[in-house]
Chain A
Amino acid sequence: MSDPIRGNGARHEQTKGNPLIKTIAPYTPLYLMLLPALIYLTVFSYVPMWGARLAFMDFSFVGKHTFVGFKHFATLFGSTAFGSVIANTIIISAMKIFINFPMPIILALMLSEVRSRRFARIIQSVVYLPHFLSWVVIAGIFINLLALEEGAINRILVFFGGTQFPFLTQGTSIRWVFVFSEMWRSIGWDSLLFIAAIMRIDVEVFEAAIADGAGTFRRIFSITLPAILPTIVTVFILNLGFFMNAGFDQVFNLMNDAVLSKVDILDTYVYRLGLQNGEFSYATAAGLFKGVIGLFLIFGTHFGSKRLTGKGVW
């Protein structure tokens, strides 16, 4: 630290000594400020990454773990549970992406057609709220909403002459509960990006279209949608990148034994095996498998997105 006061190395002549040290020495205070975060990430992010090699070992509480190669992966791929866990992950994730993806776009379009800004703002402030609630709370809300006898939905069903339905404990309905609770939580918040994209459109284009006699739908399909298409593509690709995350917190808080075979996803499987049954190595292998697939998806979508829209995931 030759000159701590004028901490800008670029201004100094590099006359003697190691040029690298000369360049970075004035930045020592900045490096020291960066250091705590780097140490934290090393310990809490990088050490567990290195720790994931446990997938190739047999865990032992005392002494060293023994290297066993792909043994746990072989067990994993050979197990009957694995097939259904993968299937559940894919089905739940796909249902949520394909059914819920268009919703925030439709909401953004609807909001942009509202003349009263005040009305739009009120609706927006209401629909953003669930985004800030934890899945424990949302599970509580949906369990209340879908309860037999007293739940609002079943009350309405009975009122209209229908019969009660145990939505949360039936294999036929539980995945739809995931779809709708996810929609309830994120339709508002996810519309934010699309609303921002719509607001960036030149107002004169709309005015010109109206002057030419274009109706509302004509305007939406010929101006708004093409203008926000890059945003739509980017968000969709991003979603695909996180396809393997079928939503641990949601499934974990809404699942029950009656529907386990329909809702058990990779993440809940890892939790059950690892932390409840104590099969650390096997669960790490299952987790690593998910991580590797996810990695391929993220890199795939990153480069796909770069090619399509010029924008990557990062």
Chain B
Amino acid sequence: MRKPGVFHPARSFGVGTVLNYVLLALLGFMTFFPLYNILVVSLTGPAKIAAADGLSVIPHDFSFATYITLVQIPKVAKGLFNSLYITAAGVLINMVLTCLAAYALSRPKLPGKPFFMVFIIITMIFEGGLIPDFLLMKNLHLLNNYYSVILYKAVNAYYLIIMIRFFEEVPLSLIEAGKMDGVTETRTLVSIVLPVSKAGVATVSLFYAVFHWNEYFRAMIYLTNPDKWPLQVVLRELIVSGDKAAFIGALNYLKYEVGAAQVDMKALKAGVIILAVLPILFLYPILLRYFSKGALSGAVKE
């Protein structure tokens, strides 16, 4: 009998074992600290912000001043709204297209299935490229339209294939039983297949949600009006240019006339980074549960 599973090394206090633990803890620390430090800087109050640096561990003069300032900056508030809107609309469209197609392709006897699979896999390997993509958006009159970004990768071949794998695992007997009762294919998908493949639906929608939330480049080149920019583009502008006046905006500068000098760029940058990471941190526990499963089911091909 093959006995796979977690191998438990013997209890040991040897140098190697200790070193192993120390190095792993160090790696964990090096991964965690840079992000934690940014959180600390963003929560440091105006009185102590000048002293905060890359090694700060505790937010002195603890305050939410940075975030209160940030949400009053129209760019940031709009950026948050745009990001949420693009992500929500994007995932909805992704899931409708992906689930419908994955269901059809998960039916074992669908005539022409190999052809459709090749048609889809080709889109993973061949790409038109940046300029043809851009010109297509221009020709479709989608430039400066939210849909140029919402529809970007609306069907992702990788995620579609993962979804097909999940649907293929739904017992055929369940589906056939529905057929006998005269249930349509769409009803079968909605009331039998989707509820059974909850894990799959969660995995793939999370994949898509993270993708949309993190997308900045297409938004940057397709959305010419900065009012439509998602948070990631606003953050990029802030990090690359680092220009306080441009970031806060001339009109707002007047609004903050007392505080403008105190509004610390370091804290604002840190705050926007945290805002851009926050939804992912919230979702992270769920992400951890589903993503590793999903990533493996996509990668481990039989």
- Say if the beta carbon of B72 comes within 8 Å of chain A: no
Number of A residues with CB within 8 Å of any CB on chain B: 107
A106-142 interface bits toward B, Cβ cutoff 8 Å, 1 = contact, 0 = none: 0100111111010110110111111011101101111
Cβ contacts under 8 Å, A258 to chain B: none
Residue of B whose beta carbon sits closest to that of A154: B54
In this assembly, does A246 line the interface, its C-beta being within 8 Å of a C-beta of chain B?
A: no
Selected from B17, B122, B128, the residue in CB contact (under 8 A) with A51 is B128
Give every chain A residue within 8 A of B41 (Cβ-Cβ).
Answer: 144
Determine if B185 and A33 form an interchain contact, defined as CB atoms under 8 angstroms apart: yes
A10, B302: Cα distance in complex, Å: 26
Is A165 an interface residue when CB atoms closer than 8 A count as contact?
A: no
A-B residue pair count with CB separations less than 8 angstroms:
286
B232 nearest CB neighbor, chain A only: A136
Specify the main secondary structure of chain B where it touches its partner: helix
Would A253 and B236 count as touching, CB distance under 8 A? yes
- Would A137 and B299 count as touching, CB distance under 8 A? no
With A113-B9, A132-B287, A144-B38 in contact, do A314 and B121 touch (Cβ < 8 Å)? yes
Residue of B nearest to A150 (CB): B53
- Could you tell me the distance between the alpha carbons of A280 and B131 in the complex, rounded to whole angstroms? 6
A247 at the interface (CB under 8 A from B): no
The segment from A73-81, A82-90, A171-179, A191-199 found at the interface with B is A191-199
Say whether chain A's binding surface is mostly helix, strand, loop, or mixed.
helix
Whether A196 contacts B179 by the Cβ 8 Å rule is: no
In the complex, given contacts A37-B120, A54-B135, what are 18 additional A-B residue pairs having Cβ atoms less than 8 angstroms apart? Answer: A29-B186, A30-B103, A52-B129, A110-B23, A112-B7, A114-B20, A114-B21, A128-B288, A136-B214, A136-B235, A149-B53, A150-B54, A155-B53, A184-B30, A267-B130, A291-B126, A291-B127, A295-B125
Interface residues of B (CB under 8 A from A): 2-12, 16-17, 20-21, 23-25, 27-28, 30-35, 37-38, 41, 52-55, 96-98, 100-101, 103-105, 107, 109-112, 116, 119-136, 151-152, 154-155, 160, 179-180, 182, 184-186, 189, 210, 213-217, 221, 232-233, 235-236, 239-240, 266, 269-270, 272-273, 276-277, 280, 284, 287-288, 291-292, 295-296, 299-301
A-B contact pairs, 12 of them (CB 8 A): A7-B179, A43-B136, A44-B151, A48-B136, A52-B132, A115-B10, A137-B273, A139-B236, A144-B269, A150-B52, A184-B31, A295-B125
